[in-house]
């Protein structure tokens, strides 16, 4: 769980059944406590531990609209910050639907299940799902905001595989919310709720389990790393633009990121191309070759490369070594700050070379940064063959289907211990500002963010604009008014009722 020193919920409950969750939600609603769910506790901002309380971010970024909830909450605070954390770690069952197909296609997974365990149990049946690479992240929060991993360009986001959710709503009802719901007479139309749960889940209920449609495991996968010769800011910017030009055309079987980090020599930036290919090694070489040739023409060469081929593939990605922490308490902690900035797949919204150069110049400018552990990752999401962008954006609440790629910027102290210094926060803000401020047409430039890489420095309005966009936000607030009119599920970035 990310530590930020601000976490002090009023109570943490450890239910074991949906019925117990329902009792807790009703009780919290009656007492005026905010309810937040915690599945794997990996939220970057600690929102799942009640960090910042339900609404403190709005006190920093007041727009007047939330006064009602702030007053209500302060009145009820007493001990703690007015937040009930519902911990779902006991919801860790994985059950295959034996009546469908050969009994391995449809699976119901408890919200508290960690991704490492999901991958392991599914692999034993020869099945797999698209999801992120950290084995201790739980599916609860991961799928509620999307869930992006190395196989996502082939198979979509984790949420794209959801058949139905079991969710406890604000009035304490336990509801089965299918993804495609055609409401029968006398039944509530759950279509809008299903839409909202896929991208903005934490604002609408406590999801106790997901039922998902799995894929057969592919016969082979290759994990790869290509390290390049360190270069200065100008060539690093050229390399970034070459990556942007190349990735729209790569096949869906490849999941990849271009990763920049501090170099060994003065003023140099080190970087690598890293990822996973769902196919044989020889085919990977042919796919990567055009990009390597472009870099060669720029004078950038590959210094080392590693390719690990697996039969059958271990879809746990790069973190295989940590996979033993798939159950039980996790005693390690981390102290870091991260930001995201998504580049949309529209010609007019792509990164300009000026922006790339502003970023790489910023990264090489301060030699003291070499003492900090930082990286910038450009995760590929879209492109012509991407399963993520093949789903119409309006089908789910988040706007990430518009991403061609997303920057993830990350910094941590060397010892990984709190307190996190404001220097680190300023450093990352500087990275993001370098990209944004170098944009000439800033007033019309569209960009987004990744809700699973939540940034506590953003106000509610800024975060929602980046994660959902204006139009979807209007609809989300309508759905919130219908399913959580009393704003029981609230935290600094949550959707407010219309
Ligand atoms: C080391 C690390 C690596 C990561 N790698 C990736 C990656 O490769 N790809 C990627 O997409 N993301 C990645 N993430 C981000 C991760 O997907 C998100 O932080 C995710 O939301 C964590 O889910 P959780 O259940 O573990 O965390 P939690 O902190 O428990 O939950 C995260 C958020 O979801 C809400 N929530 C949790 N459970 C539920 C529920 N059952 N019902 C409703 N709301 C719920 C919480 O209230 C909170 O707002 C990574 C994070 C870390 C720390």
For 305-318, b where at least 16 C-beta lie within 10 A, e where not — what string? eeeebeeebbbbbe
Kindly give the distance from the C-alpha atom of residue 146 to the centroid of ligand 1, in angstroms, as a whole number.
9
Work out the average pLDDT over 133-156: 94
Q: Report the range of poorest mean pLDDT among 220-234, 273-287, 406-420.
A: 406-420
Amino acid 319: pLDDT: 43
With cut-offs at 50, 70 and 90, classify the pLDDT of residue 342: very high
Kindly give the distance from the C-alpha atom of residue 66 to the centroid of ligand 1, in angstroms, as a whole number.
26
**Ligand 1 atom closest to Cα of residue 454:** 19
Kindly give the distance from the C-alpha atom of residue 49 to the centroid of ligand 1, in angstroms, as a whole number.
12
pLDDT tens by residue, 455-479:
999 999 999 999 999 999 999 999 9
Q: Report the range of poorest mean pLDDT among 21-35, 370-384, 478-492.
A: 370-384
Output the residue whose Cα is nearest ligand 1's atom 53: 42
Cβ(493)–Cβ(47) under 8 Å? Answer: yes
**Ligand 1 atom closest to Cα of residue 49:** 29
| Ligand 1 residue neighbourhood (C-beta within 6 Å) | 36-44, 47-48, 88, 111, 132-134, 137-138, 140-142, 144-145, 147-149, 201-202, 206-207, 452
Amino acid 57: pLDDT: 32
Average pLDDT, rounded, for the chain: 87
With cut-offs at 50, 70 and 90, classify the pLDDT of residue 23: very high
* Domain annotation for the chain: domains and CATH numbers: 11-88 (3.30.43), 94-216 (3.30.465.10), 221-312+334-457 (3.40.462.20)
pTM: 0.91
Kindly give the distance from the C-alpha atom of residue 43 to the centroid of ligand 1, in angstroms, as a whole number.
5
Amino acid 265: pLDDT: 63
Tell me which of 284 and 59 has the higher pLDDT: 284
Which stretch, 67-71, 75-79, 279-283, has highest mean pLDDT? 279-283
Tell me which of 71 and 94 has the higher pLDDT: 94
Work out the average pLDDT over 423-446: 93
- Three state DSSP letters for the chain: CECCCCCCCCEEECCCCHHHHHHHHHHHHHHCCEEEEECCCCCCCCHHHCCCCCCHHHHHCCCCCCHHHHHHHHHHCCCCCCEEEEECCCCCCEEECCCCCCCCCEEEEECCCEHHHHHHHHHHCCEECCCCCCCCCEHHHHHHHCCCCCCHHHHCCHHHHEEEEEEECCCCCEEEEECCCCCCCCCCCCHHHHHHHHHHHHHCCEEEEEEEECEECCCCEEEEEEEECCECHHHHHHHHHHHHHHHHHCCCCEEEEEEEEECCCCCCEEEEEEEEECCCHHHHHHHHHHHHHHHHHHCCCEEEEEEEEECCCCCCHHHHHHCCCCCCCCCCCECCEEEEEEEECCHHHCCCHHHHHHHHHHHHHCHHHHHCEEEEEEEECCCCCCHHHHCCHHHCCCCHHHEEEEEEEEEECCCCCCCCCHHHHHHHHHHHHHHHHCCCCCCCCCEECCHHHCCCCCCHHHHHHHHCCHHHHHHHHHHHHHHCCCCCCCCCCCCCCC
């Amino acid at each position: 769980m990310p530590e930020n020193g601000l976490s002090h919920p009023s109570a943490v409950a450890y239910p074991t059944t949906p019925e117990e969750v329902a009792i807790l939600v009703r009780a919290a609603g009656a007492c005026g406590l905010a309810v937040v769910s915690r599945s794997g506790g990996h939220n970057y901002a600690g929102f799942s531990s009640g960090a910042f309380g339900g609404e403190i971010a709005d006190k920093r970024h007041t727009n007047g609209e939330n006064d009602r909830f702030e007053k209500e909450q302060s009145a009820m605070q007493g001990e703690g910050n007015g937040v009930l954390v519902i911990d779902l770690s006991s919801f860790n069952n994985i059950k295959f639907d034996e009546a469908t197909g050969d009994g391995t296609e449809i699976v119901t997974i408890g919200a508290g299940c960690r991704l490492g365990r999901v991958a392991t149990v599914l692999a034993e049946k020869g099945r797999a799902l698209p999801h992120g690479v950290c084995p201790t992240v739980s599916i609860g929060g991961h799928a509620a905001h999307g869930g992006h991993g190395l196989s996502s360009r082939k198979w979509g986001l984790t949420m794209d595989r959801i058949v139905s959710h079991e969710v406890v709503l604000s009035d304490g009802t336990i509801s089965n919310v299918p993804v495609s719901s055609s409401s029968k007479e006398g039944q509530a139309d759950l279509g809008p709720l299903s839409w909202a749960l896929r991208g903005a889940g934490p604002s609408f209920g406590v999801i106790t389990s997901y039922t998902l449609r799995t894929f057969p495991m592919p016969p082979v996968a290759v994990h790869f790393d290509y390290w390049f010769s360190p270069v200065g800011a100008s060539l690093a910017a050229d390399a970034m633009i070459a990556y942007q030009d190349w990735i729209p055309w790569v096949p869906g079987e490849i999941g990849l990121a271009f990763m920049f980090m501090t170099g060994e020599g003065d003023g140099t930036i080190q970087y690598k191309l890293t990822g996973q290919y769902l196919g044989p090694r020889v085919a990977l070489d042919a796919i990567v070759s055009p990009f390597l040739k472009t870099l060669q023409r720029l004078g950038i060469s590959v210094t080392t490369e590693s390719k690990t081929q697996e039969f059958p593939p271990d879809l746990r990605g790069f973190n295989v070594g940590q996979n033993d922490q798939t159950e039980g308490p996790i005693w390690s902690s981390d102290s870091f700050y991260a930001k995201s900035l998504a580049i949309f797949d529209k010609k007019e919204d792509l990164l300009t070379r000026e922006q790339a150069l502003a970023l790489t110049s910023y990264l090489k400018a301060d030699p003291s940064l070499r003492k900090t552990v930082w990286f910038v990752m450009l995760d590929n999401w879209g492109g012509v063959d991407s399963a993520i962008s093949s789903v119409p954006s309006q089908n789910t609440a988040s706007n990430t289907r518009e991403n061609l790629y997303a920057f993830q910027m990350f910094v941590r102290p060397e010892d990984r211990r709190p307190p996190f210094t404001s220097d680190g926060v300023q450093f990352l803000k500087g990275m993001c500002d370098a990209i944004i401020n170098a944009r000439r047409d800033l007033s019309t430039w569209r960009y987004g963010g990744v809700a699973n890489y939540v940034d506590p420095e953003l106000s509610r309005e800024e975060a929602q604009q980046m994660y959902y966009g204006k139009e979807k936000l209007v609809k989300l607030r309508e759905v919130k008014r219908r399913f959580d009119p009393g704003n029981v599920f609230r935290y600094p970035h949550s959707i407010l009722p219309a």
